[in-house]
Amino acid sequence: MEASVTNLAYSRLLKSRSKSATKVRNDLGDDAGNRVDQEKLAHAASLILEAIGENVFREGLRDTPARFARMFQELCYGVGVDASTEITCSFDEGSDGLVVVRDIGFNSMCEHHLVPFIGTANIAYLPKNGVVTGLSKLARVVELTSRRPQVQERMTEEIARAIEDAIDPSGVAVLVEAEHFCMSMRGIKKPGSKTITTLFKGTMKTDMEARAEALSLLRDK
């Protein structure tokens, strides 16, 4: 019975607004917009507010479900997208020297609690046959990988795999450092604690000297 009351409340809420929620687009393009069910997201937000005893019709909350839906579309546009597609160019620079990009900031979402984890990704790769990619492409890989419900361990692996798939380097090292809000604001409540994850591929996995050099450059000083 409760469910029907809830659904009734939600349909009244929908009628009370203009029918905008399902057609929201942002600069992510049509594909991203189509993958996300805006109406379902707004419904879910409305149910959560009801479940905690809120009045979903009061002034401050009236547009919250639609806002929540738009926010989730933005935060989760990377669901099901292969991050290696962000590496759209590669150049033959004839150099096999180590390439390192540090402190690529990201915001992601813990898939266990749906609260943020925020941090930096640090990437090193050793080109094979002089093939490199644009530095901003590495940042794009991090950005796309972070835009989905995640665990940090998998995110670290996905970043490394995307680089490996796109330019087939001799080795890749990725170090991700993040604060998880599910540890800061709930549960054990330890704000400021950092989780560090690493992933090594190719020579970075087998050659301890190459790994140590990469790690010394990736680590926060």
Active site residues: 110-113, 152, 180, 182
Distance CA 172, CA 210 (A): 10
Indicate the residue among 75 and 204 with the shorter CB distance to Zn ion. Answer: 75
Min separation Cβ 82 and Zn ion, Å: 25
**Residue with smaller CB distance to Zn ion, 13 or 110:** 110
The residue of the chain with the least Cβ separation from Zn ion equals 182
Counts for the chain of helices (H) and strands (E), in that order: 9, 7
SS3 131: strand
- Closer CB to Zn ion, residue 82 or residue 111? 111
To Zn ion, the closest distance from the beta carbon of 97 in angstroms equals 38
- The token pair at 72 is 């989730």
Shortest CB 186 distance to Zn ion, Å: 9
The binding site for Zn ion (CB under 5 A) comprises: 110, 112-113, 182
Torsion sign across C-alpha atoms 46, 47, 48, 54: positive
**What is the three-class DSSP state of 179?**
strand
Instruction: Write down the H helix ranges in 36-151.
Output: 38-51, 64-75, 135-146
